[in-house]
């Protein structure tokens, strides 16, 4: 699931956030991109020049405010029955926003002394429970979350029962959701949809709501004829049954999956299909967006082929559908074969010039392997599901968009985690939470994804894909935990990975690494210090790559193992000509780095091949703009960097750094940012705001030209700021 933080916060797609940095946001960005650990000094450190820029405060001034998140240990109810197959019949009472349901569960005993069955069922009235095999009613005991059946027979392992339940569910905005149920709101359609993760399907359906459960499924959904439906598996039949006014759609899921992945959606849709390598892809849209379905879901076919080819494992199911729903509480949910997405994915061709949902669509699709084919055993191991999905967003970007787009995604994920880590830290794999929903945070998503990025780098390309193939084939249609992932990587590589998995998954925090580099007599001395607080964190065992250039510009790499509080490494060059040296320039290791860099070194890094270092250099130069002696030179340098930079979001970052220092003398720069030479729409929007602020509206041909900008977002923004400009002109002025 592409989840929210909290759930009600919307996820914005790549290139979709309209962000103008206020002073507060700008300060936050600077703080986020630099190390949270101070630079320390000692008599033994190499001398630093007087013009060095200290990006962080001395250690004595640093206070770490984060806390170790504490919560009670949680253990899921032990499984005593195997749910083999579940049949579901539902129809809806829109007036009461209720589910009128029946379900039949085929279960096999795991225990040799089984006389009780506990099902999950919340906010529902039970009208009857029946033993189907013996044709008799059963007594039940119901509380707020479970339905308990006591049998007068003791079942042994392998014995089978079939239980039928008739019920009415009243889901309280959990599990199943009605949208505009009475049809009174003309701004949105009438819809019904579900979201079961983590344990919410039992708000509308009695089942065993456990992530390690696996079952096949049949679903009958009865709806008015104007509605289309979606559920797991294949739509086998659609007809009006004798004596019924509703149409019933019959869906069949022939392969086992977890009950939290059960799903349905009901609404007025147009549906488009294509066959890709034997898989039926189905695209749902509301009618007004039907002409744009291939734009909305673009690259789905390429993602399917890429994931299948790289993993060496065929798509596990026969169908894959995607449907948008209104008022969705997440960005997307990877229900098996039936992904639901928030309705904002529906965009027009014009909007698609500037925004896309590539990350979201890739995230939910790869979950069909990682999350659905293999599933976390419990919610402590949810970061396995979400970490793979998060990192595969980056991998697909690298495939489709190129390495710099992938690097920017990795940078963004790192910063999202680091910001959360400023508040609290916890082990990524942890059963300490109050509710399973507490696991939906940056540790589960971004940090877990960055752990896999480190693992990929550690084992190499061939072993990475080989291990994933082992994981998916050895554990298909089963549940896993982090030890299973460690096991397959050790089998694939022959490495002992105990330290790696324990320190990154089972201990909280991350390293802060201070780097001090000096050059003497043709050698480079690299001093590394782990400066993180050790109250709740460890000294990490790290394999770091040190990059440097030789005398003709070739990149050389020396790998070192760094597992102490501080170590110094010597790099010799026989020619005595070591060029710029950088530790971990691609920021593979999930560490916050701090360095004392002078202005010349920062300026040099603006041209470094690493997107990460160019971003950090931009942020490092920002404070120098407050220095009158440095300002002119830094401004000129950043303008040149802006012109040369090809990563759109990094261009925007440079623009944001320069923005507070612009005035009417920047007219030529601002008015040069047109669709012809500035393809990134957010930079044209920023330029429009600054032009209006510094140049004014009268005679401003640039502002007028943007009223016809190809970008819908630019045109809308310019119309808005012009309206606000006129409104301010009409406001009465206070008397002096």
Find where tokens 């396995």 sit: 384
Res. 592 pLDDT band, cuts 50 70 90: very high
Judge contact between 723 and 692, C-beta under 8 A: no
Rounded to the nearest 10 degrees, the angle between the axes of helix 611-621 and helix 628-644 is 150
Name the E strands within 313-414.
319-325, 332-333, 338-342, 374-376
Give the whole-angstrom CA distance, residue 355 versus residue 353: 6
Q: How far is CA 691 from CA 633, 659, 687, in A?
A: 23, 11, 6
Q: What phi, psi does 372 have (nearest 5°)?
A: -110, -50
Residue 60 pLDDT greater than 70, yes or no: no
Residue 556 pLDDT greater than 80, yes or no: yes
Res. 532 pLDDT band, cuts 50 70 90: very high
Is the model's pTM score more than 0.85? yes
Q: What phi, psi does 648 have (nearest 5°)?
A: -55, -45
Judge contact between 488 and 470, C-beta under 8 A: yes
290: alpha, beta or left? (left if phi > 0; alpha if psi -120 to 50): alpha
Instruction: Output 13 or 355, whichever has higher pLDDT.
Output: 355
Q: What is the DSSP string of 173-185?
A: SBSEEEESTTS--
Average model confidence (pLDDT) across the chain? 91
Q: What was the pLDDT predicted at 53?
A: 29
Residue 555 pLDDT greater than 90, yes or no: no
Residue 575 pLDDT greater than 60, yes or no: yes
Judge contact between 131 and 163, C-beta under 8 A: yes
Residue 141 pLDDT greater than 90, yes or no: yes
Give which of 239, 423, 2, 725 is closest to 717, Cα–Cα. Answer: 725
Query: How many CB atoms within 10 Å of residue 322?
Result: 23
Give the whole-angstrom CA distance, residue 158 versus residue 386: 34
Q: What is the dihedral of CA 2, 330, 294, 368, to 10 degrees?
A: 40
Name the E strands within 247-392.
247-257, 264-267, 270-276, 279-285, 319-325, 332-333, 338-342, 374-376
Q: How far is CA 217 from CA 105, 131, 247, 254, 269, in A?
A: 9, 19, 20, 7, 24
Long-range CB pairs of 721-725 (<8 Å, 24+ gap) are 721/688, 721/689, 721/692, 722/692, 722/697, 725/692, 725/697
Give the whole-angstrom CA distance, residue 404 versus residue 496: 32
Least confident of 10-19, 353-362, 592-601, 704-713: 10-19
Residue 47 pLDDT greater than 90, yes or no: no
Q: What is the DSSP string of 160-219?
A: EEEEEEEEEE--SSBSEEEESTTS--TTS--EEEE--TTTTGGGTS-B---TT--EEEEE
Is omega for the bond preceding 517 within 30 degrees of 0, making it cis?
Answer: no
Give the whole-angstrom CA distance, residue 237 versus residue 218: 12
Residue 449 pLDDT greater than 80, yes or no: yes
Least confident of 65-69, 393-397, 599-603, 614-618: 65-69
Residue 138 pLDDT greater than 70, yes or no: yes
Res. 576 pLDDT band, cuts 50 70 90: low
Q: What was the pLDDT predicted at 577?
A: 64
Over residues 417-441, the mean pLDDT reads 97
Over residues 597-622, the mean pLDDT reads 96
Q: What was the pLDDT predicted at 578?
A: 75
Q: What was the pLDDT predicted at 31?
A: 34
Res. 730 pLDDT band, cuts 50 70 90: confident
Q: Say if residue 504 is exposed, middle or buried (CB neighbours under 10 Å; 0-12, 13-18, 19+).
A: buried
Query: How many CB atoms within 10 Å of residue 96?
Result: 12
Query: How many CB atoms within 10 Å of residue 653?
Result: 23
Residues linked to residue 332 through DSSP beta bridges, in sequence order: 2, 341
Over residues 106-127, the mean pLDDT reads 96
Give the whole-angstrom CA distance, residue 49 versus residue 518: 11
Query: How many CB atoms within 10 Å of residue 398?
Result: 16
- Structure-block tokens of residue 352: 């698609």
Instruction: Output 384 or 27, whichever has higher pLDDT.
Output: 384
Residue 666 pLDDT greater than 50, yes or no: yes
Give which of 542, 577, 581, 583 is closest to 561, Cα–Cα. Answer: 542
Res. 734 pLDDT band, cuts 50 70 90: low
Q: Say if residue 97 is exposed, middle or buried (CB neighbours under 10 Å; 0-12, 13-18, 19+).
A: middle
Judge contact between 365 and 398, C-beta under 8 A: no
Q: What phi, psi does 536 have (nearest 5°)?
A: -125, 5
Over residues 145-163, the mean pLDDT reads 96
Give the whole-angstrom CA distance, residue 316 versus residue 368: 7
Over residues 19-36, the mean pLDDT reads 33
Give which of 318, 132, 304, 165 is closest to 236, Cα–Cα. Answer: 318
CA angle 146–150–152, rounded 5-degree value: 170
- pLDDT > 90: what percent of the chain? 86
Judge contact between 424 and 66, C-beta under 8 A: yes
């Amino acid at each position: 699931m592409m989840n929210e933080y909290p759930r009600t916060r919307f996820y914005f797609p790549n290139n979709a956030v309209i962000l103008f940095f206020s002073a507060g946001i700008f300060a936050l960005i600077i703080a986020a991109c630099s190390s949270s650990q101070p630079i320390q000094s000692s008599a033994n450190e190499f001398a630093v020049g007087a013009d060095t820029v200290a990006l962080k405060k001395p250690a004595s001034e640093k206070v770490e405010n984060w806390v170790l998140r504490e919560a009670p240990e949680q253990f899921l109810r032990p499984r005593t029955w195997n749910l083999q197959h579940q049949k579901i019949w539902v129809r809806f009472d829109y007036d009461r926003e209720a589910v009128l349901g029946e379900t039949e569960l085929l279960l096999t005993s795991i225990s040799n002394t089984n006389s009780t069955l506990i099902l999950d069922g919340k906010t529902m009235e039970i009208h009857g429970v029946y033993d189907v095999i013996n044709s008799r009613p059963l007594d039940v005991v119901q509380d707020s979350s479970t339905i308990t059946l006591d049998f007068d027979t003791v079942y042994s392992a392998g014995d089978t029962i079939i239980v039928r339940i008739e019920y009415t569910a009243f889901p309280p905005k959990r599990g199943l959701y009605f949208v505009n149920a009475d049809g009174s709101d003309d701004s949105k359609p009438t819809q019904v949809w579900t979201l079961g993760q983590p344990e919410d399907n039992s708000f509308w359906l009695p089942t065993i709501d456990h992530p390690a459960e696996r079952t096949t499924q049949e679903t009958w959904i009865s709806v008015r004829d104007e509605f289309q439906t979606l559920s797991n598996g294949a739509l086998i039949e659609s007809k009006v049954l004798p004596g019924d006014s509703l149409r019933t759609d019959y869906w069949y899921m022939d392969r086992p999956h977890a009950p939290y992945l059960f799903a349905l959606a009901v609404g007025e849709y147009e549906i488009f299909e294509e066959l890709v390598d034997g898989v039926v892809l189905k695209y749902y849209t509301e009618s007004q967006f039907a002409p744009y379905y291939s734009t909305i879901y673009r690259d789905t076919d390429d993602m399917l082929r890429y994931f299948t080819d790289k993993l060496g494992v065929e798509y596990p199911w026969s169908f894959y559908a995607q449907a948008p729903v209104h008022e969705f509480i997440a960005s997307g949910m990877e229900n098996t074969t039936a992904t639901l997405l928030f309705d904002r994915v529906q965009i027009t061709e014009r909007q698609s010039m500037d925004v896309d949902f590539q990350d979201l669509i890739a995230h939910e699709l790869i979950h069909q392997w990682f999350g659905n084919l293999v599933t976390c055993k419990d919610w402590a191991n949810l970061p396995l599901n979400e970490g793979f999905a998060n990192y595969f967003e980056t991998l697909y970007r690298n495939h489709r968009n190129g390495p710099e787009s992938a690097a920017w995604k990795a940078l963004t994920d790192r910063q999202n985690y680091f910001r959360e880590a400023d508040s609290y830290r916890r082990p990524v794999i942890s059963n300490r939470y109050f509710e399973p929903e507490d696991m939906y945070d940056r540790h589960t998503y971004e940090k877990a994804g960055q752990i896999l990025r480190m693992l990929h780098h550690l084992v190499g390309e061939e072993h990475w894909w080989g291990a994933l193939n082992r994981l998916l084939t050895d554990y298909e249609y089963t549940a896993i935990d982090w030890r299973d992932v460690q096991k397959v990587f050790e089998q694939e590589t022959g490495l002992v990975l105990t330290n790696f998995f324990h320190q990154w998954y089972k201990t909280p925090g991350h390293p802060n690494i201070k780097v001090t580099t000096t050059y003497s007599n043709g050698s480079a001395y690299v001093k590394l210090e782990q400066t993180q607080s050790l109250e709740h964190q460890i000294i990490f065992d790290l394999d770091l790559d040190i990059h440097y250039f030789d005398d003709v510009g070739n990149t050389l790499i020396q790998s070192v193992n760094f597992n102490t509080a501080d170590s110094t490494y010597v790099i010799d060059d026989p020619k005595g000509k070591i060029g710029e040296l950088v530790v971990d320039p691609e920021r593979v290791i999930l560490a916050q780095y701090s360095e004392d860099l002078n202005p010349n070194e920062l300026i040099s890094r603006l041209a470094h091949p690493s997107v990460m270092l160019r971003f950090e250099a931009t942020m490092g130069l920002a404070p120098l703009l407050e220095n009158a002696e440095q300002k002119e030179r830094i401004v000129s340098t950043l303008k040149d960097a802006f012109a040369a930079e090809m990563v759109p979001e990094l261009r925007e970052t440079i623009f944001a750094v320069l923005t507070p220092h612009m005035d009417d003398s920047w007219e030529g720069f601002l008015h040069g940012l047109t669709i012809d030479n500035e393809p990134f729409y957010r930079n044209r929007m920023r330029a429009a705001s600054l032009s209006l602020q510094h140049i004014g509206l009268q005679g401003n041909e640039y502002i007028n030209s943007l009223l016809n900008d190809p970008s819908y977002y630019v045109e809308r923004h310019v119309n808005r700021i012009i309206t606000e400009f006129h409104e301010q002109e009409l406001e009465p002025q206070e008397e002096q």
